[in-house]
Amino acid sequence: MAKANGANAHKQLTRQQYLDLYYYMRLNRAVEDTMVKLFRQNKIVGGLYSSLGQEAVSVGTAYALEKKDWLAPMIRNIGALLVKGVPPRDVFMQHMAKYDSPTKGKDGTSHFGDLDNLHIVSPISMLGDLIPVMTGVAIAGRYLGQKIVAMTWIGDGGSSTGVFHEGLNFAAVQKAPFVLVLENNQWAYSTPVKLQVPLENLADRAKAYGIPSYSVDGNDVVAVYTTAAEAVERARNGQGPILLEVKTFRRMGHAQHDPAEYVPKQMRAYWEARDPIALYERFLTSEKLLDEKSKKEIEQKIETLLAKERDFAENSPLPPPEFAEHGVYCSGDDCHQIRPKWERPVSEVIPPKSGVAAVWTVAGFGSGKSAGGGSAPIHFGDTQKTGGNGKADAEVPESVAESIEAAEPKPQAVKSTKPKSSAKKPAKLAVASKSKTQARKAGR
């Protein structure tokens, strides 16, 4: 694990880059502050997650990507979306479930993407599933000769899930051009990191997969950016994936509903004194990169922009009720041009026709006989023999028998073999016919 040295790296940026990082951190915070107001006015649909105090992570890492690169955000990466070019109005409208939002009001929070222009994959889960997905994106880019890098984020808690390990191992063995940012904010909901990972540095998780890792101060935006830029460059040059641990602190609760009273006061006070924006302002001022006048200009620019964006979002309508049934099933070419092999006609997947008999035959596998000689449409192995008392061969629970019956092929998929002895019909058939009557009564 390499310790990133932010101090040396400070010299490598242009003035514009320094100011960009500042602008995006301020924008990130202002967008989220606005959403807290909207939430308190009951205008947000669903949960609202905060990245207060973690802006340097989202901004510093995403700023290291090129336009052609791909990212997939986690709940606390709105800053990364802004850097990649998502307009604040989209973030507002998405959280307000408005009709003009990227998902047209069908989903909330940061559950949206833009595959065509901005190269953003919509999050499917916050707990690691994006790792194999983005590894796939990275490999696809390499296959197509695009020289892209894919990036996603994972929390300290999320780094303990199975898919984190499967995904990172897969990325490592494939040498995928992939950067995984492990956002160690020291809490996974109410669980402190020490109670769920026996490691001092989560960057050490990379050792298990034979890939390099960095551990960096997540509240120092320049350190984050320069380390991320190095990681991105390595990945782009074909040196495989990198794990980048950024140590930071989740200043708010898990979401708006959580007052986070379980966080020790001293811990909070320590990190509040290390606010990434305040730290960076001090640095920019001492380096004479920012004065009061240019700071005011940036604040004014953000205020004007967000007033406009919020206005647009608030005036956007909610989706019309009838839209609820749109976009649920594939509707052909207006949904997508690529025909999946398994596509079924819309009429077939709408109840009550959606049930398809779960019976199959396997060529060369026999016809599925029960030990008693009766037909067993699904079962290909042996069942218990009858005890010779005239009772059925195997006890079949009614629920199983019902599903067998429901699945029974109408033109028999399985040949029925007449029993040699005068043994009675197997119980499953008897039960099955009983359930047939029940089914009829139930109007199925």
Ligand X SMILES: Cc1ncc(C[n+]2csc(CCOP(=O)(O)OP(=O)(O)O)c2C)c(N)n1
Tell me if 171 sits within 8 A of 239, measured CB to CB: no
Considering the rule CB under 6 A, would residue 323 count as an interface residue with ligand X?
Answer: no
Comparison of 213 and 383: residue with beta carbon closer to ligand X: 213
Comparison of 110 and 227: residue with beta carbon closer to ligand X: 110
Name the minimum Å distance from CB 157 to Mg ion: 5
What's at 406, amino acid-wise?
A
**What does 158 interact with, of Mg ion, ligand X, none (CB < 5 to 8 A by kind)?**
ligand X
Tell me if 59 sits within 8 A of 80, measured CB to CB: yes
Comparison of 126 and 211: residue with beta carbon closer to ligand X: 126
* CA-based nearest residue to 124, from 74, 185, 85, 169: 74
Q: Of all residues in this chain, which one has the CB nearest to ligand X in the complex?
A: 155
Which residues on neighbouring strands pair with residue 216, listed in sequence order?
246
Tell me if 295 sits within 8 A of 25, measured CB to CB: no
Structure tokens at 112: 């949206």
Comparison of 77 and 185: residue with beta carbon closer to Mg ion: 185
**What does 253 interact with, of ligand X, Mg ion, none (CB < 5 to 8 A by kind)?**
none
Q: Which residue in 60, 73, 136, 157 binds ligand X (CB under 6 A)?
A: 157
Comparison of 54 and 103: residue with beta carbon closer to ligand X: 54
Distance, CA of 19 to chain centre:
31
Write out the binding residues for ligand X, residues 233-252 only, by CB under 6 A. Answer: 250
Tell me if 57 sits within 8 A of 181, measured CB to CB: yes
Considering the rule CB under 6 A, would residue 188 count as an interface residue with ligand X?
Answer: yes
Considering the rule CB under 6 A, would residue 408 count as an interface residue with ligand X?
Answer: no
Name the minimum Å distance from CB 253 to ligand X: 10
Name the minimum Å distance from CB 255 to ligand X: 9
Comparison of 153 and 178: residue with beta carbon closer to ligand X: 153
Q: Which residue in 21, 97, 126, 392 binds ligand X (CB under 6 A)?
A: 126
Comparison of 262 and 323: residue with beta carbon closer to ligand X: 262
Q: Indicate if the alpha-carbon torsion angle 204, 210, 215, 221 is positive or negative.
A: negative
CA dist., res. 300 & res. 78, Å (int): 21
283: CB partners within 8 A, 6+ apart: 10, 222
Q: How far is CA 427 from CA 289, 378, 397, 432, in A?
A: 85, 15, 10, 8
Which residues on neighbouring strands pair with residue 184, listed in sequence order?
247
DSSP 86: -
Considering the rule CB under 6 A, would residue 158 count as an interface residue with ligand X?
Answer: yes
Q: Which residue in 26, 29, 76, 95 binds ligand X (CB under 6 A)?
A: 76
Total residues at interface with ligand X (CB under 6 A)? 14
By the criterion CB under 6 A, which residues form the site for ligand X? 76, 126-127, 155-158, 183, 185, 187-189, 250, 254
